[in-house]
């Protein structure tokens, strides 16, 4: 949902988020003595999605209802109940929060600016140039009412 929602048409930005998360997790993982970072990476993606969709209602095994921003914490609690170490989950949450803060929160603060810039090389590799003749379907247009034909059907 993150790829098709928030990053739709922004493949280079999506790849940059992967690179940022991978590099940050590798560095922090070395200090935390964590070498298998797949679960941490998934938790990072879940964290970013959940923060960008705060009003989505979630249900965990039919027992627990909560809003999306609590999903990473619920998953961490479930890991704890299963007897797993929560260091991996905390690593994913912290890297996800770093990305979310630098990408979505800080640029919108007074005096804030965008610190994470997708390199032009990634844009050249992954983003397609827009076709000037492309006309999106009415479903794809944002924020507009559906246009109706002026001519009646005969």
Contact present, 40 and 29 (Cβ < 8 Å): yes
Taking only the tens place, the pLDDT of each residue in 125-136 is: 887 766 666 676
The answer to the question of residue 116 being in a domain is yes
Q: Are 92 and 39 in contact (CB under 8 A)?
A: yes
Which residue range(s) make up the domain with 49?
20-126
Is 150 contained in some domain? no
Does residue 47 lie in a domain region?
Answer: yes
- pLDDT mean over 88-100: 94
The answer to whether 72 and 89 are in contact (CB under 8 A) is yes
Please, are residues 65 and 116 in contact by the beta-carbon 8 Å criterion?
Answer: no
User: Which pLDDT score, from 0 to 100, does residue 147 have?
Assistant: 47
Range among 121-125, 131-135, 144-148 rated most confident = 121-125
| Residue 62, domain member (yes or no) | yes
pTM of this prediction? 0.76
Whether 118 is covered by a domain: the verdict is yes
Structurally, the chain folds into a number of domains equal to 1
Instruction: Classify residue 37: in a domain, yes or no.
Output: yes
Residue 4 lies in a domain: no
Mean pLDDT, residues 25-44? 89
CA atoms lying within 13 Å on the CB side of residue 130: 6
The closest alpha carbon to 91, from 9, 135, 25, 4, belongs to 25
């Amino acid at each position: 949902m993150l790829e098709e929602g928030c990053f739709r048409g922004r493949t280079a930005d999506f790849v940059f988020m992967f690179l940022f998360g991978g590099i940050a997790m590798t560095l922090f993982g070395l200090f935390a003595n964590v070498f298998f970072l797949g679960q941490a990476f998934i938790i990072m993606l879940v964290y970013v999605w959940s923060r960008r969709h705060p009003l989505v209602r979630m249900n965990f095994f039919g027992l627990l209802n909560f809003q999306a921003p609590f999903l990473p914490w619920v998953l961490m609690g479930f890991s704890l109940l299963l007897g797993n170490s929560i260091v991996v989950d905390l690593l994913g949450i912290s890297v996800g929060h770093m990305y979310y803060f630098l990408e979505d929160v800080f640029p919108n603060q007074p005096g804030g600016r965008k610190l994470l810039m997708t390199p032009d090389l990634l844009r050249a590799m992954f983003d397609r140039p827009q076709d000037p003749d492309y006309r999106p379907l009415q479903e794809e247009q944002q924020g507009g009412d559906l246009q109706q034909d002026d001519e009646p059907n005969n």
